[in-house]
A and B are shown apart, each in its own frame.
Chain A
Amino acid sequence: MNNISTRPGADGAATEGAVVRLCDASMGDAGTILEVRAESHSTAHGVGVEELQRRLLEFGFVEGARIEVIHEGAFGRDPIAVRLDDMRVALRRRDAEDVLVLLDKR
């Protein structure tokens, strides 16, 4: 799985079918959750990646769920708030690294 795009283009517009990690997503990005992983993390977690994955799943970050970034924090655009199916969830970008989102066509 090396085909995860880094943020495309300086204009910020995602191309059709681009896959981004939720931690790199911008305000207004919408799509479907492609995968929720339990990968090694750049910053150590108090709870471990397996536990983080389970917590994400429990909140409804599951494959196939609709997701849209609806708010960003004032400092460093962190944390973010997403609409996840019919819920709103806030999370830090560092915890959103393992959520891969297939962006809609713009």
Chain B
Amino acid sequence: MNQTLSPARVALVGNPNSGKTALFNALTGARQKVANYAGVTVERKEGVVTSPAGRQLMVLDLPGTYSLRARSPDEAVTRDAVLGRLAGEVPPEIVICVADATNLRLVLRLAMELKQVGRPMVLALNMYDIAQRQGLRIDLEGLSREIGAPIVTTVATRKRGIEDLLAQVDALVEAGHLAGENVWREPNAAEIRQAHAEAQRIVRTYVRPPEHPDTWTGRIDSVLLHPVAGLAILFGLLFLMFQAVFTWAGPAMDAIEALFGWLGAAVAQYIPNELLQSLVADGLIAGVGSVLVFLPQILILFFFIILLEDLGYMARAAFLMDKIMGGAGLHGRAFIPLLSSFACAIPGIMSTRVIDSKPDRITTILVAPLMTCSARIPVYTLIIGAFIPNTQVWGLFSLQGLVMFGLYATGIVSALVVSFITRRIFWRSTVEPFLMELPTYKLPEPKSVLRNLLVRAQIFINRAGRIILPMMILIWVLSTFPYPPEGAAGPAIDYSFAGIIGNFIQPLLAPIGFNWQMSIALIPGMAAREVAVATLGTVYAVGDAENNIGALATTLSQHWSVATGLSFLTWYIFAPQCAPTLGVVKRETNSWVWPTVMFVYMVALAYIASFIVYRTAVALGGG
């Protein structure tokens, strides 16, 4: 019997903040797949669920939107998928319109647009428990008659109403309603007004206003959006997040490092061929390890971000930060991607997808790597330890700590300046409107937070892995071949392509105080910033440099002048010493233009800044 039921495609459409993703998770559970739509960098989330009748349903979670009149790449995907115009995507047979039951007016307008498309539709009134608690009365039958679609009430976070919803989908498929004629077209201003009036009328007729409207949101906002207290709390939260990212992640990061070290050594034993052994242990395993080591930090950071997002706070953070970011030509929403970039620019750049407009998004991508990512920390720690005396300033702060803070601050300020200039050069005077719903506060559901966290981690590992692996192999090749001649005195890397390139660019870097050892370290350092520490260890013949930073610092302080040390620090604030980031930019922008622009401007900035710092330090007697 079951074999005779043909599978059906179902698309979830709804406003942002309607609990659409929670509903998707409740429907499909773990049976979901995250990929990208062909040609665009919009996440495609699909899952499978078996309906009560035993039918296989392929559920597609489409990006949230207020209208089919798309404004961002995400919303264009929603429009095209619903209209059946999306290349490589089979049009859905059934549309589930997901609505926040406590906030029906806007979604009714979307539902009316969806009706015009002509596909059979179910309206899911989600968060129905909250509506009931507020004493909101909805005449479900009347509403259903009015919009001409069955209605199901759901509480996605508690998996209530899911069976009913699936049964309705079954019924619609069973009834064999074929998609009617599509009469949708972009509404003009007059039509939007008319649709609003209609939605308003429907709400007045079938919805009785809540007896106990939510007053918490207003009360919480009076503190969290307060001009002074709100900003203080935001910065307090940021401080807490940083503390968590950098302290809680420590043990897990050590464990991952140890695991990959052990894995490299263990695997190496079984590979007789020395070259293959080096490729697998030093290239692949060490390379993947050097990126995965950031996973604990990224997970902690995303944990906070997802928690605050589910709570409804992220829109408030964007509100509070908008003026500061807007002054630099950035959108308030750029706040989240830039925040993520403090752990690693790669997830930061991937999360710029929340930004509607292309100029806003590209500007954010371009400046994201200027945020001090955690891969810079080993480099900063090494150089600061070697060259900055551990003294107290005004009896309060340690000088080393102040320098560290200065490096972070320089990164942030330069990101703002660069974005300001970028806007001037590329998109003069095109500031997109900033319109954003401030959703009602909701208590995050632990399960959904956990699931989202796992999805994020999976995406990071997948995407990063696909880009990072080839980079790692390339850099391993450069650092390994050709072999040093018999009886060579210097370290092997000096004779490799990396050494040749390093020696070749050394005259260019001499004006900023770099010696050949440093120039060489920059090449493998392209794999990930902290790899430079290991390479410096190799060229200065300090064994296991990453775990013995003290010994390397002593060596460096003997070989480098203070001016050189400061110049190297400055270089690391700006230089694009991270090939995976450039790869991700190529992927996210679908063009080589932006990674090239990024590489050129960052190298230029690094060179100029290091030159100024080096020359100033030499003039002051630090040479």
Contacts and interface: CB of A to CB of B under 8 A. Distances in A.
A60 to B, nearest CB: 6
Interface residues of A, number: 38
A62 B69 contact: no
**Contact size class for B?**
35 or more
A63 B193 contact: yes
Interface stretch (B153-161, B221-229, B267-275, B302-310): B221-229
Contacts of A38: 189
Interface string A48-76: 00101111111110110000001111111
Contacts of B105: 60, 85-87
A16 to B, nearest CB: 26
Nearest to B230: A74
A64 to B, nearest CB: 8
B66 A89 contact: no
A74 B438 contact: no
B324 interface: yes
A46 B357 CA distance: 9
Contact of A92 (B213, B324, B326, B438): B326
A104 interface: no
Contacts of B332: 79
A43 B431 CA distance: 9
Given A43-B431, A87-B437, A71 B221 contact: yes
Contact of A74 (B192, B231, B436, B437): B231
Given A73-B227, A73-B322, A81-B319, A58 B67 contact: yes
A52 to B, nearest CB: 5
A46 B431 contact: yes
Contact of B434 (A44, A72, A95): A95
Contacts of A70: 218, 221
B547 to A, nearest CB: 45
A58 to B, nearest CB: 5
Tell me the dominant secondary structure on chain A's binding face: mixed
A90 B438 CA distance: 7
Given A50-B189, A90-B436, A75 B324 contact: yes
A86 B207 CA distance: 13
A52 B192 CA distance: 13
A67 to B, nearest CB: 14
A73 B69 contact: no
Contact of B438 (A47, A75, A88): A88
B551 interface: no
A4 interface: no
B106 A91 contact: no
A74 to B, nearest CB: 4
A79 B322 contact: yes
B126 to A, nearest CB: 16
A70 B230 CA distance: 14
Contacts of A73: 227, 319-320, 322-323
A73 B321 CA distance: 9
B433 A57 contact: no
A45 interface: yes
A90 B357 CA distance: 17
B481 interface: no
B319 A87 contact: no
A54 B69 contact: yes
B18 to A, nearest CB: 13
Contacts of B615: none
Contact of A88 (B106, B217, B359, B431): B217
B432 A47 contact: yes
B315 interface: yes
Interface string A76-106: 1011010001111111101100000000000
A10 B325 CA distance: 31
10 contacts: A43-B431, A58-B109, A59-B66, A73-B323, A74-B230, A79-B323, A88-B221, A90-B315, A90-B435, A92-B322
Interface of B: 66-67, 69, 71, 103, 105-106, 109, 187-189, 192-193, 196-197, 213, 217-218, 221, 225, 227-228, 230-231, 315, 318-320, 322-324, 326, 332, 357, 359, 427, 429-440
Interface of A: 38, 43-47, 50, 52-60, 62-63, 70-76, 78-79, 81, 85-92, 94-95
